A and B are shown apart, each in its own frame.
Chain A
Amino acid sequence: MDSPDQDAVLAEVDRFATRWLEPRCVRPELPLTSRDLDATLVEARTLGIVATADPGLGLWEDLDDTLSRSLRVLVRIARANAGVALAFHLESLARVLLRRLGFEAEGPGLAAVFGRYGIGRSALARFLAGVQLDEDDRALLLDVFGASDRLVTGHDGFSWLLWPAMEDRGTVRWCLTTTPTIRRHPHAHGFDELATFSVRPGMRRMGTDCTEETANRALFAEALTLHALGLVAIALGSAQRAHGLARSFAATRRQGGKTIDGHPAVQLLLASSRGAITSVEGSLEALGQRSIRGASIGRVFSVRAEAHPLLCRGANDALQVFGGMGYMRDVGLEKVVRDLNHLRVLSGSPPELALFVSAWEMHGG
């Protein structure tokens, strides 16, 4: 996409975030209702921010282009509300994958590209690198990406579920169902506006257009890469929000006879928060310069393994600037911390990502 076109899309997203989303999120202690979220998704689909059945310029569409536009959109939306950004990301990812697979399904969908517990550790790296798997690897991948429950945090108003299923012979096949079994968990750490639920794929319909193993595996790697990038972008936007709030607060709050941004104790916290953001911004910017086909899953996972702990630290430091106020739900900082903790462990925790990265590098990925 040309730069002027990209700028126009980003300006539209900015207007949406400023005029539609932020006014609905002014009270962090009152999460968006399911109805508000539905309405927000409808608006975003209409504006073309979220990918729909009609190809356009939504998130993760035009994968031949660089990834920077989608990443910037997610960062901007997450700055207003991380839960909405996650809902946009998951729905768009599902739609784009569906299209790539040549499947058809109506309404919004969900792609569960992650496993029962994380991402299958280093075995996934060996699988994606095409290395001969041993018994342990196969058992692990079957367990993680088999037919068992997958824990999802997202908007539960989806009509179909797409997921990569590992098969006994050590291959992956994409499946689609409109009748998954869902078990909702009543309380979760973050993302108050979304649902956290276990989903069991149940009866599955095999894909017809993309059953060739190499292609399935490549698409699996792309899906994992896009998902990881999306999560980092959302985390970055959330951390930026926390930093902005802390910076503003520190410029007005007085303690010790001056505004607190004059105290080194606070300056160090703000610098730590800023440093985390700057580091991840740089990494994400570099990753965004490539198209999905040029993106290395090892590099993306490596960035993600470092980015989440960094951003969690940054958000905690931002919260600390507020002192007791930061702990109160109406200020919004604690929600950012919870959302970032939540993102950190979804679809591969930092140690698991690190194991993947090490194996990926070992096998020349």
Chain B
Amino acid sequence: MADPFARPLQGHVHPSSVLSPRKAFARLASLVRPMVRYEPQDPWELDTSRLPRLLAAHRRKLRAFAESWLAPRALDIDVAPHAPPGKLHPASREVLRAAGRAGHLSDLLPRPLGSLDPRLLRFPLAFPQALKAEEFARVDGGLMLLLCATGLGVAPALLAGNLGALRRTVIPAFRACERGEPHLFAFAITEPAAGSDAEESHGASLLRPGVVAKACQGGFRLTGRKCYISGGDIAKHVVVFAALEGEGMESWTAFLVPAGAEGFRVPRTELKMGMRASGAAEIELDGVFVPERDVLGGLRAGWALNRAVLNVSRIPVAAMGVGFARAALEEATAFACRFRLGGKPLVDYQDVQLTLAQMMAETNAARALVWQAAASPQARQGEAAAAKFHTTDTARRVCELAMDLLGNHAVLHEGRVEKVFRDARLTQIFEGTNQINRLAVIEEEQERLLGLLAGR
């Protein structure tokens, strides 16, 4: 095989040319030389090297897990027949067990309560979660969601500071996960008549809640229906948000509901465009009893918990967008180097180089936004929402560029890019549509804007 370094890419000088910055920079004064770089470096390594050492190590561990467990199974699971509620593809089950043992299902609490390296507590919790979402999404959206959605279900218990629930339920569940016996959680806010209204205050103020909690001896009985609950069919506990009987959304309360409770039923999971390794479940509650002790954060604290969870969770969702953009970029780059057209690799064509450069820039910009939001000590609504809608819109755009680059080969499942598009498309919708997320940015700006209106 010919040495690929024997010639430059078409339209460029060879790196050994005196006109190449690679060669030319060597002539700079030694004091100046460290200020500019040209040497090629793997983009992932470059990004990782810019992280604090502990986060960098964490990112390496996540990528290794994704490569060894998610990647080999992703395409097969994606095209498997739709499973009935509660049934997992055998390969998904293997991944779940392995993820549990590796600590990826219990990393919202530090060791010994969970699996997170306690040294990572010096960073906002959203940061390691964002790294996980990107690395897993880059390999497979469906398995990523299967593994990450449980964190969304655990988050209300953490943010509620409900030590009893943590002690009785979350910590034992984490230990089970680490033994390879997955005990998952799900987060149930969406109702058939309330998608966006469950994620936006103005809509919520006008909404008549569909799931209602009626007080009874020792607790509450929940009745109603939730839909599109990620992982809701395999979760052992579901955090269900319900209004108190006779009251509106201001009474929303978070209830920790065991999936085996009497009256709890999962009639169906949706047949989705993508992210097919993770089920989107409909949940029916018919007088499900929840003891008072499993009310998270107290009565009428549900709306605050919901919004707080969204502030934190939208950052990993934004990172999913980065992961999808990266997947599309990497596949397109590999294709451009592998595929020959007219006797030369596709990457020799200038327009292909322009497209790849555009994809690289958009992906890097998206990651910068996510890492900036993730590094913030407080999960700010505006920052998280902006990162979410911007990166997920970017992901779709980068996927489209990748599909254009692959041409007719883009339609093939084995090429992966078409699947990345299908997976990425959901991130523009869940955790609040990107339109709702734009409004969330303005909501946080409201008081400043009102001040401007008042001439202050």
**A residues at B contact (CB < 8 Å):** 29, 114, 117-118, 121, 123, 136, 139-141, 143-144, 151, 153, 185-190, 196, 254-257, 265-266, 269, 309, 312, 316, 319-320, 323-330, 334, 337-338, 341-342, 344-352, 355
Contact = CB atoms under 8 A, between A and B. Distances in A.
B270 to A, nearest CB: 5
B347 interface: no
A143 B339 CA distance: 12
Given A189-B411, A256-B203, A327-B270, 8 more contacts: A118-B408, A121-B349, A151-B409, A266-B435, A320-B435, A325-B195, A337-B273, A338-B422
B206 interface: yes
Interface stretch (B28-36, B86-94, B153-161, B423-431): B423-431
A324 B229 CA distance: 11
List 10 A-B pairs, minimum CB-CB distance, nearest first: A140-B342, A257-B206, A187-B413, A189-B418, A334-B273, A265-B435, A256-B203, A189-B411, A349-B404, A329-B271
B311 interface: no
B354 to A, nearest CB: 9
Given A255-B197, A256-B203, A345-B406, A337 B270 contact: no
B399 to A, nearest CB: 9
A50 to B, nearest CB: 24
A144 B272 contact: no
A123 B341 CA distance: 12
B410 to A, nearest CB: 5
B434 A349 contact: no
B129 interface: no
A255 B280 CA distance: 21
Nearest to B428: A320
B136 interface: no
B404 A324 contact: no
Contacts of A187: 79, 412-414
A350 B434 contact: no
B197 A350 contact: no
B437 to A, nearest CB: 11
B289 interface: no
B202 A256 contact: yes
B363 to A, nearest CB: 19
B421 A117 contact: no
A296 B407 CA distance: 23
A320 B434 contact: yes
A341 B424 CA distance: 14
A351 B414 contact: no
Interface residues of B, number: 56
B253 interface: no
B403 interface: yes
Given A140-B342, A330-B271, A351-B351, A256 B197 contact: yes
Contacts of B67: none
A334 B396 CA distance: 14
Contacts of A269: 435
B368 interface: no
A128 B438 CA distance: 48
B162 interface: no
Contact of A328 (B195, B197, B270, B340): B270
A143 B342 contact: yes
B75 to A, nearest CB: 9
5 contacts: A114-B408, A123-B342, A185-B414, A255-B195, A324-B195
Nearest to A140: B342
Contacts of B270: 327-330
B394 interface: no
Contact of A186 (B79, B274, B439): B79
A255 B429 contact: no
Contact of B429 (A118, A123, A326, A338): A326
A91 B456 CA distance: 69
A144 B412 contact: no
B181 interface: no
B351 A355 contact: yes
B357 to A, nearest CB: 13
B106 interface: no
A273 to B, nearest CB: 14
Contacts of B250: none
A121 B348 CA distance: 14
Nearest to A319: B425
A323 B418 CA distance: 21
A255 B190 CA distance: 12
Contacts of A350: 404
A186 B413 contact: yes
Contacts of B196: 255-256, 323
A349 to B, nearest CB: 4
A265 B435 CA distance: 6
Instruction: Give the one of A265, A323, A350 with max B CB within 10 A.
Output: A323
Interface in B209-228: 227-228
A266 B413 CA distance: 32
B169 interface: no
B351 A341 contact: no
Given A29-B271, A255-B197, A265-B439, A345 B343 contact: no
Contacts of A347: 408
A346 B436 CA distance: 34
Contacts of B421: 189, 341
A188 B412 contact: yes
B404 A344 contact: yes
Contacts of A326: 429
Contacts of B435: 265-266, 269, 320
| Candidate in B200, B202, B341 with the most chain A CB atoms within 10 angstroms | B341
B51 interface: no
B411 A349 contact: no
Contacts of A140: 341-343
Contacts of A334: 272-273, 422, 425
A89 to B, nearest CB: 16
- Among B340, B405, B407, B410, chain A packs the most CB atoms within 10 A around the CB of B407
A233 B396 CA distance: 24
B433 interface: yes
Contacts of A189: 410-413, 418, 421-422
Nearest to A354: B351
A224 to B, nearest CB: 14
A344 B400 CA distance: 10
B430 A324 contact: yes
A324 B418 contact: no
B334 interface: no
Given A320-B435, A344-B403, A351-B351, A337 B408 contact: no
Nearest to A187: B413
B339 A117 contact: yes
B278 interface: no
Interface string B167-207: 00000000000000000000000100111110010110011
B355 interface: yes
Nearest to B193: A254
Given A136-B342, A140-B342, A351-B404, A153 B430 contact: no
